[in-house]
């Protein structure tokens, strides 16, 4: 994709080159870094260059850790001595806020003979080439030398290209219906200066007409323009929250009802084929591979429902598939797979298909996290089921309650059942309501029939299943007014959710910050 500059005669190089690429939460974006000892201005990897080691990872792993150090490996898979490479991720998307401004003026020059001026204000951004771009034009305030213009909002990108020191110009005109507006005056500032002056209650500027200033000896100004209000609305992205240290807690819930068929029968949805994973495992692996990059301890809760479980073989709709009720977590996705395979011969598939108990269980964990007052942990519940839920009323009630919590629910329907009734849980066609009529605060459910993606790659399945999660994460924390951890709000600042469809996308910077290498022998 790209290469760094060459750092000569150094065993601990720090590279200044920055690699920039698009980041998508729902995709596994595999990367490989290779380090060479170059002997001249040659192409990367040519025979004249000595290969010092490489490292493979995903962009998600770098983003989740922000700063990741890994050992360099030789092509045979052995460590390249004690050499390491460190990669740092930063968000450079620049889509980080809106500004609300309210201007007013005092004692403007009167340009009309039989009435007072009809002033309006124009705000310009000065580009790097010196050209001026109109940012906003206010309404005209008729017959008034002390106008108060309506507040207006502009994105920080439009206002100053996200550069707070970029020059800005404000021009004041007396409106003329024929288009020959009379110039009253102007002033220059920056967004940085606006903020500082507003906080110090000194946000006012002389409105100066250069011609009058040149001709009139005692000329002071043609009025004063005042910044009456300034509000900055910070727009945080999913990437901002992940880089801020927000962890994704992943829970999987598996349907063990009798409708799946006897696991010993090759026609069963739970049949363990040593050569081809069943639909439950395919969905679990595809989604789990993404989520595991965002959980620092790589431990995942794995639950089951709809089976008779030992020792009394009573029906349970909320049991740990590792049969440890004190600790239902498994080590990594592979640990979940092993627990699932070991669980199958020990339970009796039964019914009904009740999922409300598990939704409520995860919601209790999310509720405890809610009280932390930080954007530190978000819960994703993956429910794998072969049919329409039996406890639909209780499920709707549980989902509506969960919509107020840091939680998302993904339901994957496996097999060939008719899942039409499940679509009601996915709020795409309207707001989900509880049986009591209470609406969900947020749309937190994504339902995906596995058969529609049966022939797709695991990456395509994960992309479809997880596409809504970034937006749901941002919507929750925005509603709570919680910025990413480590972010300090400035005066007059509030947080907003990004409303773009691609909330999960961002611009991530990958920079191999430095490598360390042990000296080689002669």
Chain centroid, CA 85 distance in Å? 26
CA-atom Rg of the chain in angstroms: 30
* CA dist., res. 425 & res. 206, Å (int): 59
Instruction: Tell which residue, 358, 455, 474, 369, has the closest CA to residue 411.
Output: 358
CA atoms within 13 A on the CB side of 288: 24
pLDDT per position as a tens digit, 97-142: 789 999 999 999 998 777 899 999 999 999 888 888 889 999 999 9
pLDDT at 95: 54
Report phi then psi at 468, rounded to 5. Answer: -85, -15
Nearest to 482 by CA among 246, 295, 248, 294: 246
Determine the Cα–Cα distance for residues 31 and 62; give it in Å rounded to an integer.
10
- 132 membership: H or E segment, kind and range: strand 132-137
Q: Find all residues with CB under 8 Å of 366, minimum gap 6, and list them.
A: 379, 402, 405, 406, 407
Q: How far is CA 327 from the centre of its chain?
A: 30
pLDDT in tens, 197-210: 999 999 999 999 99
Terminal CA-to-CA distance of the chain, rounded, Å? 33
Q: Determine the distance from the C-alpha atom of residue 163 to the mean position of all C-alpha atoms in its chain, rounded to a whole number.
A: 22
* pTM for the whole structure: 0.66
Residue 14 dihedral angles phi and psi, to the nearest 5°: -115, 115
Peptide bond into 411 cis (omega under 30): no
The CA distance from 352 to 303, in Å, is 16
Q: What is the pLDDT of residue 512?
A: 46
Pinpoint the alpha helices (H) of 355-484: 356-370, 392-402, 458-466, 469-480
Paired residues of 516 in beta bridges:
84
Instruction: Report the distance separating Cα 223 and Cα 381, nearest Å.
Output: 61
Residue 230: its H or E element: strand 224-236
Q: What angle do CA 423, 426, 428 make, to 5 degrees?
A: 100
The predicted pLDDT at position 429 comes to: 62
Q: Using CA atoms, how far apart are residues 354 and 258, in angstroms rounded to an integer?
A: 13
Torsion angles phi and psi, residue 90, rounded to 5: -135, 145
Domains of the chain and any CATH numbers: 19-93+505-516 (no CATH), 98-236 (2.60.40.150), 239-480 (3.40.50.410)
Residues of the chain falling short of pLDDT 70: 40-48, 92-96, 428-429, 488-522
């Amino acid at each position: 994709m790209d290469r760094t500059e060459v750092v000569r005669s150094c065993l601990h190089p720090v590279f200044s080159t920055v690699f920039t690429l698009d980041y998508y939460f729902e995709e596994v974006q595999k990367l490989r870094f290779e380090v060479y000892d170059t002997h001249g201005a040659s192409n990367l990897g040519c025979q004249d260059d000595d290969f010092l080691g490489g490292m493979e990872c995903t962009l998600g792993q770098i983003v989740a850790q922000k700063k990741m150090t890994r050992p360099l490996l030789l092509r045979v898979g052995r460590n390249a001595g004690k050499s390491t490479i460190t990669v740092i991720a930063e968000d450079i998307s620049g889509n980080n806020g809106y500004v609300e401004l309210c201007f007013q003026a005092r004692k403007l020059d009167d340009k009309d003979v039989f009435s007072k001026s009809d002033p309006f204000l124009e705000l310009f951004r000065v580009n790097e080439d010196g050209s001026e771009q109109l940012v906003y034009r206010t309404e005209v305030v008729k017959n008034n030398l002390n106008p108060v213009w309506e507040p207006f909002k502009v994105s920080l990108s439009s206002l100053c290209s996200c550069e707070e020191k970029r020059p800005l110009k404000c021009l004041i005109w007396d409106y003329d219906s024929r288009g020959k507006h009379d110039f009253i005056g102007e002033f220059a500032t920056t967004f940085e200066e606006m903020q500082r002056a507003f906080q110090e209650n000194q946000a006012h500027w002389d409105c100066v007409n250069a011609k009058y200033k040149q001709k009139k000896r005692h000329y002071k100004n043609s009025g004063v323009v005042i910044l009456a209000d300034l509000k900055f609305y910070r727009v945080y992205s999913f990437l901002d929250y992940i880089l801020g240290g927000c962890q994704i807690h992943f829970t999987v819930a598996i349907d063990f009802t009798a409708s799946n068929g006897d696991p010993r029968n090759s026609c069963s949805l739970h049949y363990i084929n040593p050569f081809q994973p069943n639909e439950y495992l395919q969905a679990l692996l595809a989604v789990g591979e993404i989520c595991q990059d965002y959980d620092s301890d790589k431990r995942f809760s794995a639950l089951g429902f709809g089976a008779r479980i030992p020792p009394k073989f009573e029906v349970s709709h909320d049991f740990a598939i590792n049969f440890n009720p004190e600790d239902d977590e498994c080590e990594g996705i592979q640990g979940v797979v092993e627990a699932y395979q070991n669980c199958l011969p020990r339970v009796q598939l039964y019914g009904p298909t009740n999922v409300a108990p598990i939704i409520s269980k995860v919601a209790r964990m999310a509720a405890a996290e809610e009280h932390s007052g930080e954007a530190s942990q978000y819960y994703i519940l993956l429910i794998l089921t072969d049919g329409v839920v039996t406890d639909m009323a209780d499920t709707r009630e549980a989902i509506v309650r969960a919509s107020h919590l840091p939680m998302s629910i993904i339901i994957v329907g496996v097999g060939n059942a008719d899942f039409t009734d499940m679509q009601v849980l996915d709020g795409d066609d309207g707001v989900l309501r509880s049986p009591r009529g209470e609406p969900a605060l947020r749309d937190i459910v994504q339902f995906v029939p596995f058969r529609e993606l049966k022939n797709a790659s695991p990456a395509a399945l994960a992309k479809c299943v997880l596409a809504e999660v970034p937006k749901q994460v941002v919507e929750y924390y925005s509603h709570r007014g919680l910025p990413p951890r480590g972010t300090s709000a400035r005066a007059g600042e509030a947080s907003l959710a990004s409303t773009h469809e691609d909330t999960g996308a961002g611009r991530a910077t990958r920079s191999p910050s430095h490598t360390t290498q042990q000296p080689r022998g002669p």
